[in-house]
Amino acid sequence: MAWGGSLNKKGSDYVRKIREADRVLKFLEEIKKNLNPIEIETISKTIEIIVSQISKGSEQKTRI
């Protein structure tokens, strides 16, 4: 790991989930370029939900 530590299974799973979410968000941002305004709004709401869930997971990790 770049920060010099190792992660337990839960930490490793969390990092994988963040990386996967990042890939999904990049994909969603890319397809927004080819959509109509209503579809863009739907994708934007989806992005907000994903970011919110990742943020909640991050907050829980900092409390442990």
Q: Is the pLDDT of residue 43 over 90?
A: yes
**Residue scoring higher pLDDT (60 or 36):** 36
Q: Is the pLDDT of residue 35 over 70?
A: yes
The model's pTM is 0.71
Between CA 6 and CA 45 the distance in angstroms is: 35
Interacting residues of 10 by C-beta distance below 8 A, sequence separation 6+: none
Mean predicted confidence (pLDDT) in 32-55: 96
pLDDT band at 1 (very low <50, low <70, confident <90, very high): very low
pLDDT for res 56: 86
